[in-house]
């Protein structure tokens, strides 16, 4: 079903509403007249007035582009204004900066995952798809991964994990963590350094969990006790199955659940005012 994503082209003098029909933020992104660029996606908190790591989200857009149509401070003000119709509820937002410096804001009502997803975990699969520039969140990757996105939707998987040289690095739309012998592991190289990933690492260390930077060898999946993925819109999502292999006991493990609690508390304390 097509829904109306709220889309605005933001300039220093005016906000131009775009009438685009799309079923998702990804579909909207593929319809832009200037598709090459960078993006960041996140959810709001406190009635669309706060965002976790907003400064980092904006840095992700502004650093690769030498000249933008709007300043960062102006974009913040426009974002706050354009989110007003969603209050007191929350929104999911995508900011896009094209390589030419055009800025777009797309938003939709936040559809939170069901609580049972966090309580029972999800199934994911591995894929050989690669990001051309892993450190950059490029809009081009949305089109490049479209067939895989459709495949996991048809097969009932929650996410696809990117594998390079036999190592599981990250998800298509998330970062990946795993636990062995009470130590939390995540890849450091050849990945997008996610904002939620950084938060989870800080929460883990604050709760006395050792963190090591080491990708998971796909042939060592049977040694993993727990696993989860992270993203700005969904937080921490436990993973109980990768491909055909059950992770641990087939349910979210104790470290994952502790970090879920810690992450929720961190968000309440640390989300930035827009």
Mean pLDDT of 180-186: 97
Fold of 3-109: D-amino Acid Aminotransferase; Chain A, domain 1 (3.30.470)
Which pLDDT tens digit goes with each residue over 85-137? Answer: 999 999 999 999 999 999 999 999 999 999 999 999 999 999 999 998 899 99
Question: 116-272: which CATH number, 2.40.110.10, 3.20.10.10, 3.40.50.150, 3.40.50.620?
Answer: 3.20.10.10
Higher pLDDT, 12 or 118: 118
Which pLDDT tens digit goes with each residue over 205-257? Answer: 999 999 999 999 999 999 999 999 999 999 999 999 999 999 999 999 999 99
Q: What is the pLDDT of residue 6?
A: 87
Question: Which ranges in the chain are annotated with CATH 3.20.10.10?
Answer: 116-272
DSSP symbol at 72: H
Question: Which ranges in the chain are annotated with CATH 3.30.470.10?
Answer: 3-109
Which pLDDT tens digit goes with each residue over 16-72? Answer: 888 777 777 887 777 776 668 999 999 999 999 999 999 999 999 999 998 999 999
Where are the strands (E) in the chain, listed by range? Answer: 3-4, 6-10, 15-18, 21-22, 37-43, 50-51, 91-98, 103-109, 122-127, 159-164, 167-171, 175-180, 183-186, 211-213, 216-217, 226-231, 235-242, 245-246, 272-273
Q: What is the pLDDT of residue 207?
A: 97
Share of the chain above pLDDT 90, in %: 82
State the DSSP string of 211-225: EEE-PEEGGGGGG-S
User: Which tokens go with 55?
Assistant: 């400064």
Q: Please name the residue ranges forming H helices in 97-248.
A: 115-120, 140-144, 146-155, 195-206
For residue 1, pLDDT beyond 50: no
Q: Poorest-confidence range of 24-28, 80-84, 165-169, 267-271? A: 24-28
């Amino acid at each position: 079903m097509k829904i109306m994503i709220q889309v605005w082209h933001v300039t220093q003098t005016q906000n131009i509403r775009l009438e685009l029909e799309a079923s998702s933020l990804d579909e909207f992104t593929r319809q832009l007249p200037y598709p090459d660029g960078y993006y960041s996606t996140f959810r709001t908190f406190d009635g669309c007035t706060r965002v976790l790591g907003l400064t980092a989200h904006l840095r992700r857009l502004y650093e690769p582009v030498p000249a933008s149509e709007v300043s960062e401070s102006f974009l913040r003000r426009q974002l706050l204004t354009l989110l007003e119709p969603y209050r007191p509820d929350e929104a999911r937002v995508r900011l896009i900066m094209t390589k030419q410096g055009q800025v777009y804001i797309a938003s939709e009502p936040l559809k939170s995952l069901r609580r049972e997803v966090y309580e029972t975990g999800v199934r994911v699969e591995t894929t050989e798809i690669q990001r051309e520039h892993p450190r950059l969140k490029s809009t081009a990757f949305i089109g490049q991964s479209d067939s895989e996105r459709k495949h996991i939707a048809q097969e009932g998987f929650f996410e696809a994990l990117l594998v390079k040289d036999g190592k599981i690095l990250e998800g298509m739309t998330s970062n990946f963590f795993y636990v062995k012998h009470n130590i939390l592991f995540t890849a450091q190289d050849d990945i997008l350094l996610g904002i939620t990933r950084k938060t989870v690492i800080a929460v883990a260390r604050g709760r006395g969990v050792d963190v090591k930077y080491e990708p998971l060898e796909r042939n060592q999946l049977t040694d993993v006790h727990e696993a989860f993925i992270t993203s700005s819109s969904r937080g921490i999502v436990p993973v109980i199955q990768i491909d055909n292999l059950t992770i641990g006991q087939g349910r979210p493990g104790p470290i994952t659940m502790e970090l879920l609690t810690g992450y929720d508390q961190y968000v309440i304390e640390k989300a930035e005012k827009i």
